[in-house]
Amino acid sequence: MTNDQMGLCPKCGCDGCYITPINETKFNYFCWGCGFQTNDLMKEGEFDFVAYEETLPELYKDIKYVDSESRVWYPISLNIPDKGTVFLNGKSIEAVEWSAIKVIELTPEEKQEPKYKNLTYKSDAKSLKNFGIDFIEAMDYIGMFNI
């Protein structure tokens, strides 16, 4: 099997598309430039998109992209438990942007509450920030690249 590699994104054209093998002939694609993802199994006419889209926000369904290989690309939502969440936010295709919200550590009192069972962090509503089309800046905002 081939190793992970970087390539051109069919959606946005940047050279930041991270390609990882599923098996010898199929790959996952994740673009660090536009924040969209797909794989070689998610092709029009070959994949059950009705079932897949049942849990997706309407905006994600509206903004999906089909490339020249018939792969269907969707925006990613990333939730890093100790950092925060990055997601596409908006009311329509014309008014969409990447947003991020950081997390804060639960207080000892909150840790006793049933709704926080087995959790250490919660979203900090005051930290919500919008980044326009800049997915990588939203990722940086939550500390994705801090070691």
101 and 122 fall within a common domain: yes
Q: Are residues 100 and 116 in the same domain?
A: yes
User: What mean pLDDT value characterizes the chain?
Assistant: 93
Reference 29, options 79, 80, 67, 78; nearest CA is 67
**What total number of domains does the chain contain?**
2
Does residue 11 sit in the same domain as residue 69?
yes
User: Average pLDDT for residues 119-134, to the nearest whole number?
Assistant: 95
Which residue range is the domain that position 60 belongs to?
5-75
Instruction: Tell me, yes or no, whether 51 and 93 share the same domain.
Output: no
Q: What is the pLDDT of residues 68-96, one digit of tens each?
A: 999 999 999 999 999 999 999 998 888 99
**86 CB-near residues (< 8 Å, 6+ apart):** 35, 76, 77, 78, 98, 99, 100, 135, 138, 139, 142, 144
